[in-house]
């Protein structure tokens, strides 16, 4: 991150991005009071991240807005999760505390933000301990995977919002330095792709796999303009989770046909009926319902 005074163009870009999010949020909010919470969360986060820029040079506030957009459009959660997504970096990157969030937005949104901050701390601790002689990268990531799974017992929405956060960070990963990029891609492969798969979020899983393949398998980096994000993956390459299979599926796994603006059930699909009910899937569906309580 860097700091520099915002200009009129920066404020215009932020307002345009939020206008799109607000339009989506209106369809998920049950009443004006819920939409007003989202509005307050945006104003609070926008003030906290004022004059802060990402490595790309764009206003930092565009990141939480984009995460909230994924939360509402691609995952289908409601106003509490949208608000938590907007606020998810406030405690980590500014002087505000979880108690400040609780005072302004109540216990539940504060709990979601606190959970997101703890997951980020767990992942950051991996980088600090990397290189210790008796701890391999795979074992550390396996331990982090278990810790994140434990978060499901508290509120699965924390993991869903974190998946949205990771997806947007992967979409903009070309602006990261190489060591940071390698860390993000490794975590994505060992932690977030399996989570997306177990939660039935196949569109997000497919896009994360495609990004991982572009950087780790081919070294191509970002796709050229107009090629799309989820489009078709890499022709002739299998995704990392399908290499052991017979090859009946191509690596360019299509986006699930569920309509984006349908009910919350449309976001979570069970592909393998032979295994019976997916307990993580049920948790995700319950979280989508709980977001309106």
Q: Find all residues with CB under 8 Å of 275, minimum gap 6, and list them.
A: none
Strand partners, 52: 3
Are 38 and 64 within 8 A, CB to CB?
Answer: no
- Which among 8, 43, 89, 92 is annotated as catalytic? 92
User: Is 92 an annotated catalytic residue?
Assistant: yes
Are 109 and 84 within 8 A, CB to CB?
Answer: yes
Q: In degrees to the nearest 10, what's the CA dihedral of 291, 26, 43, 81?
A: 20
CA angle 121, 37, 82 (to 5 degrees): 45
- Which among 8, 73, 74, 93 is annotated as catalytic? 93
* Cα distances (Å, whole numbers) of residue 248 to 193, 243, 245, 251: 20, 11, 8, 10
* Cα distances (Å, whole numbers) of residue 255 to 228, 249, 270: 12, 14, 14
Provide the token pair at 242. 């399908």
Cβ atoms within 10 Å, residue 186: 17
User: Is 126 an annotated catalytic residue?
Assistant: no
Are 79 and 25 within 8 A, CB to CB?
Answer: yes
- Residues acting as catalytic residues: 92-93
């Amino acid at each position: 991150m860097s700091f520099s005074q915002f200009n009129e163009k920066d404020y215009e870009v932020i307002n345009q991005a939020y206008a799109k999010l607000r339009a989506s949020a209106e369809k998920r909010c049950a009443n004006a009071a819920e939409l007003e919470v989202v509005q307050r969360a945006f104003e609070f986060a926008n003030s906290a991240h004022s004059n802060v820029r990402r490595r790309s040079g764009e206003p930092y506030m565009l990141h939480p807005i984009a995460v909230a957009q994924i939360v509402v459009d691609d995952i289908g959660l409601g106003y509490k999760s949208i608000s938590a997504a907007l606020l998810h970096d406030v405690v980590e990157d500014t002087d505000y505390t979880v108690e400040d969030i609780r005072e302004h937005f109540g216990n539940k949104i504060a709990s979601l933000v606190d959970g997101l901050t703890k997951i980020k701390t767990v992942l950051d601790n991996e980088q600090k301990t990397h290189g210790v002689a008796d701890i391999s990268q795979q074992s550390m990531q396996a331990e982090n995977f278990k810790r994140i799974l434990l978060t499901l017992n508290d509120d699965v929405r924390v993991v869903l919002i974190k998946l949205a956060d990771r997806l947007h960070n992967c979409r903009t990963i070309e602006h990261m330095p190489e060591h940071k990029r390698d860390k993000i891609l490794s975590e994505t492969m060992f932690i977030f792709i399996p989570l997306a798969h177990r939660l039935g979020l196949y569109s997000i899983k497919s896009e994360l796999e495609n990004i991982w393949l572009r950087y780790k398998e081919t070294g191509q980096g970002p796709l050229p303009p107009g090629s799309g994000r989820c489009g078709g993956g890499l022709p002739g390459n299998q995704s990392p989770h399908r290499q052991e299979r017979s090859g009946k599926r191509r690596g360019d796994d299509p986006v699930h046909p569920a309509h984006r603006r349908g009910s919350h059930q449309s976001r979570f699909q069970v592909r393998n009926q032979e295994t019976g009910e997916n307990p993580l899937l049920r948790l995700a569906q319950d979280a989508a319902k709980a977001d309106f309580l």
